[in-house]
Structure 1
Amino acid sequence: MQSTPPGRPVEAAFPAQTPAAAQIFTTVLSHGPLTRSGVADRTGLSAAAVTKAVRPLIEAGYLVEDTDDARRALGRPANPVRVDAGRALFIGVKATGDELIGVLTDLCCRIRVARHLPLTDPAPGAVLAALAGLVRELLTEAEGFGVPVLGLGLAVSGDVDRAEGVVRYSPFLEWRDVALAELATMTTGLPVTVENDVRALTVAEQWFGAGVGLDDFAVVTVGAGIGCGLVVHGQVVAGAHGVAGEIGHVAIDPAGPLCHCGNRGCVEAIAADAAILARVRETTGAAVTDTAEAVALAHRGHPGVREVYAAAGTAIGRGIATVANLLGPQRVIISGEGLAAYDLFAEQIRDTFAAYAFGSAARCDVQTRPLPFEEWARGAAATAIQSFIRSETGSDTHRQRLNGAAPRAQHAH
């Protein structure tokens, strides 16, 4: 399988080979166009360091300089630089229990093509075969743009070790210890980054969404599971064991329902879609099969169903307050497919958060941001862009370990 359009040479490594150069590029990516002095102000680097780093990026075509005659006429000769979005393409794929969602993005992570592919078998071999077909289709689409596809990002729920490229445990796919980056690299021929789906979405929000310009924020996702991505001091954090931000497994009711993790009363055991459906069926006696039916029952005023959603909102509010109390983020962004029911539990989330957030933590800006699954796939593409800029992927690290070499430093994981 080709990773570049026919007739194009294999792409060289990204020219930003130092952490400072990568920082400069990502600053322009998120905030540009910026003058060199503007980049220096935002990064805290010297003007000389910025000038030195920008030059090879312009020569390689990743940055372009806006030469505006009107700007010079107004006495502002400093030309801003911006990322050339069309310089390269990336693929992102989000895997759910029953579907692959794939996107082809440009270097600024704008979606150019999106595809959905049903999954009938969640076994790793079957998923890899489906992934190969989806990537092949997106690579064919990429040929029309005339620039190379430089990376593939895969977003999977659960415990994911990005540095090793391994899915330790994914409850919805029922995977354990799957070396996904290595397998996907062999299957597709592309450099592969594997990341937890919520952290991937958080990378996209940090660089291109509601987290741009914030040093400390969280993304809380509501739906099939309850997830949380954390940005602390400008870095997306995974923790020493890759499970930082698991607010879905914060136990808020020791006598509550049993969670799939083995504990009782976790936020996820009360507020995830499956938990809500089980409680709605128990409350109504009706064979409610999906969340749309449950939401419709609640909107028709069924008191028992509305109470189920109120309890879910209370649990989510407790989880968000826990994040605010521990980390003091500037903003919490609530997203996920569960927002279809947001009007049913928004009041409980807000009131519970206010009741349990300690002191100034209650000043945290809590926002809702409905995002379709294509945006989760875009998050996967964002991790591929991030790995390319920093010259690191899980599959690269794995190969280095096999060869006995020390892996490159892993930044912002």
Structure 2
Amino acid sequence: MFPNHSQPLVSAPAETAVLAMLLAEGPVGRVEPVRRTGLSPTAVTKAARPLLVGGYPRELPPERTAPGAGRPVHPPAVTAGREYFVGVKIAAEALRGTVRDFRARRCADTVSRPLGLVRGPAAVCALLAELVAELLDIGAEFRERTRRLGIAGSGDVDRRPGRVRYSVLPDRRDVPVVGTVSAATGPRGTVDNDVKALTVAEHRFGEGIGTGNLALITIGAEIGSGLVVNGEPVAGAYGVAGERGHVSVDPSGPRCHCGAVGRVEAIASADAILRTVRRALEDPEADFAGAVQLTRDGDRAARGAFVRAGRAIGVGIATLVSLVGPERVVVTGEGLDTCDLFGAHIKEAYTSRCARRPRNAR
């Protein structure tokens, strides 16, 4: 059992740098942490010592860098089962959670709780606590070795006090999610915007490994984005830095749920596209799947909605890239299933407005 769940695993910058590199890229030889972190060999050794004592990395069997060359090295690798983490996503229709090991690999099937009529903040937090408790009980070692809980949801999230300040969902304003759930379940919690959390995950374990500057774009029910600059996620003073979905691209465009006019999300989210198609067809019962099929069948009105969405997304990406100059742009989200309908228009708008594209843009 952890003696104190409230204490951080590492606190010194050198320890953090070494552990982060091992998590993302280990196992590595002794020389690599020195080269990648810029620390001296002595500093790396000092930083790694308490981690090794705690069993977080382990030294693999010795291997020589070359036949007959010097002493054999013991490359360190992360002990995946040394610690576990619970992650929960708060979506509009359900709560979804799972358990991950120290390498962010899934260790349990995803468990869901439909929200249904459960809408009030107190009821949602209570259901979330039940979900976390169930996840911790799946494996005998999970409750003993889990000290952290990560919660992600849409909207304006303030990580420091652990509150959801604003959400598009009704009644979810200034909700103290972390304090409520941590008190009920034990592990210390962190809450963040879902796209910001995804950006960190991609930077450390996915498409962004090895990059210092990364932009991530999500396309789907909402249009979101996240930034990593000089190796650190960027949130800004109020946690909303890099929100490309709320960049205004059309002063005569529709009004966003936040009240502003012509923002990318008000034009290019799945709901926005569907509203445009319904108006064009004068069919309030049309659904998104039907709009997609109409577009693929060549309907001009439906196609126009996707073209406009693609151009808005492309302009938003170009704005973001021009401002921060990322090495790589990762585009993801459930909306990629319909990328054949607007992908070309995203690229066209992006390339026409961005002087120099990132070479590794994806």
TM-score calculated relative to the size of structure 1: 0.83
Could you tell me how far 1:172 is from its partner in structure 2?
Answer: 2.9
Q: Distance in 1 between matches of 2:73 and 2:124?
A: 50
Quick one: distance in 2 between partners of 1:164 and 1:177? 10
1: distance between equivalents of 2:178 and 2:75? Answer: 37
SS at match of 2:138: helix
Q: Which position in structure 2 is the counterpart of 1:50?
A: 44
Per the alignment, do residues 118 and 79 of structure 1 end up closer, same or farther by CA in structure 2, a change over 3 Å counting? same
Query: What is the letter of the counterpart of residue 233 of structure 1?
Result: N
CA shift, 1:296, in A, is 2.1
Residue 239 of structure 1 aligns with an amino acid whose one-letter code is G
- Letter of the 1:45 counterpart: L
**Equivalent of 2:58 in 57, 61, 64:** 64
Tell me which stretches of 4 or more aligned residues in structure 1 moved more than 6 Å.
none
The equivalent residue for 2:156 is 159
Match of 1:106 in 2: 101
> 1:366–1:288: structure 2 CA closer, same or farther, 3 Å change rule?
farther
Matches within 5 A, 1:13-412: 13=7, 16-68=10-62, 75=69, 77-113=72-108, 114-120=110-116, 121-143=118-140, 148-172=145-169, 174-358=171-355, 360=356, 362-367=357-362
Q: Which amino acid aligns with 1:240?
A: A
* Contact 2:137/2:143, CA 8 A, preserved across alignment: no
Question: What is the CA–CA distance in structure 2 between the aligned matches of 1:70 and 1:104, rounded to whole Å?
Answer: 37
- Conserved 8 A contact 1:89-1:142: no
Q: Aligned partner of 1:363: which letter?
A: P
When residues 248 and 316 of structure 1 are mapped into structure 2, their CA distance, relative to the original with a 3 A threshold, is same
Is the 1:332–1:365 contact (alpha carbons within 8 Å) kept by the matching residues of 2?
yes
Q: Quick one: distance in 2 between partners of 1:366 and 1:291?
A: 29
Once the two structures are TM-superposed, the CA of residue 112 in structure 1 deviates from its matched residue by 1.4
Pick closer, same or farther for the CA change 1:74–1:128 going to 2, 3 Å.
farther
C-alpha contact 1:98 1:119 (8 A) present in aligned 2: yes
Give SS of 1:41's match: helix
Q: Is contact 2:64-2:73 (8 Å) kept? A: no
The answer to whether the Cα contact below 8 Å between 2:325 and 2:358 also exists between their aligned partners in 1 is: no
SS at match of 1:186: helix
What is the total number of aligned residue pairs between the two structures? 358
3-state SS of 1:175 partner: coil
What amino acid is the match of 2:160?
A: A
Deviation string 1:150-170 (CA, Å, 9 cap, x unpaired) is: 211000111111112111101
Change (3 A) 1:203 1:263: same
Q: Give 2:79's aligned amino acid.
A: D
SS in 1 for 2:174: strand
* Overall identity of the aligned pairs, in %: 44
How big is the shift at 1:187? 2.1
Q: CA deviation at 1:242?
A: 1.1
Asked whether the 8 Å contact 2:126–2:181 carries over to 1, the reply is no
Aligned AA for 1:141? I
- Partners of 2:2 and 2:258 in 1: how far apart? 48
Separation of aligned partners in 1, 2:44 and 2:264: 46
Amino acid at match of 2:253: G
Give yes or no for contact 2:246–2:264 (8 Å, CA) kept in 1.
yes
- SS of match in other structure, 1:155: strand
1:320 CA drift (Å): 0.2
TM value normalised by structure 2: 0.94
The farther-off stretch of 55-64 and 75-84 is 75-84
Question: Quick one: structure 1 residues 15 and 340, their matched pair in 2 at CA, closer, same or farther if it must change by over 3 Å?
Answer: closer
- Supply the distance in 2 between the matched residues of 1:9 and 1:366 (Cα, whole angstroms): 42
Q: Which blocks of at least 5 consecutive residues in structure 1 are unaligned?
A: 1-7, 368-413
After TM superposition, give the deviation of residue 288 of structure 1 in Å: 4.5
Q: 1: CA distance between counterparts of 2:249 and 2:256? A: 12
Higher relative contact order, chain-length normalized (CA < 8 Å, sep 6+):
1
How many angstroms apart in 1 are the aligned matches of 2:170 and 2:82? 35
Kindly indicate whether the alpha-carbon contact (under 8 Å) linking 1:96 and 1:173 is maintained by their aligned counterparts in 2.
Answer: no
Q: Is there any run of 5+ residues in structure 2 with no aligned partner, and where?
A: none
Q: Check whether the contact 1:97–1:122 (CA below 8 A) recurs between aligned residues.
A: no
Query: Distance between the aligned counterparts of 2:57 and 2:346, measured in 1?
Result: 43
